Amino acid sequence: MDASRSTNLASSNDERPKPQILQKLERTTLRTSRLLDFCSEKELIAQTGHQTDAWPLVVLKELVDNALDACEDHRRKEIR
């Protein structure tokens, strides 16, 4: 250790520690596309809960559900 370093160390022990300057953290939102949730067989099985042989029935059920929802929405608008 050279003399200048030992002098600095000795004098720094005599001084009060200086508060550290904290850096402000900036948060970024992670955005991911859900497209892959609907593009692989594995993900579609996970989303629907059905194997590939039952997919035509799942599609039919979803179409009927959407049609019923649309009818209900239209009927609510007419009643008001």
Tens of pLDDT, residue by residue over 43-64, are: 999 989 999 999 999 999 999 9
Does residue 57 sit within a domain? yes
| Mean predicted confidence (pLDDT) in 38-46 | 89
Structural domain includes residue 22: no
Structure tokens at 12: 């720094």
Whether the pLDDT of residue 13 is over 70: the answer is no
Instruction: Give me the number of domains the chain comprises.
Output: 1
Within-domain flag for 5: no
**DSSP 8-state class, residue 80:** -
Q: 4 pLDDT exceeds 70?
A: no
Determine, yes or no, domain membership for 38: no
Is residue 46 assigned to a domain? no
Q: What residues contact 63, with CB distance under 8 A and at least 6 apart?
A: none
Rg (CA), the chain: 33
Nearest to residue 66, comparing CAs of 77, 54, 74? 74
23 located within any domain: no
More reliable by pLDDT, 77 or 65: 65
For residue 26, what pLDDT is reported?
87
- Number of residues that make up the chain: 80
Task: Judge if pTM exceeds 0.85.
Answer: no
Is residue 8 situated within a structural domain?
no
Whether 56 maps to a domain, the answer reads yes
Q: Which domain holds residue 78?
A: 51-80
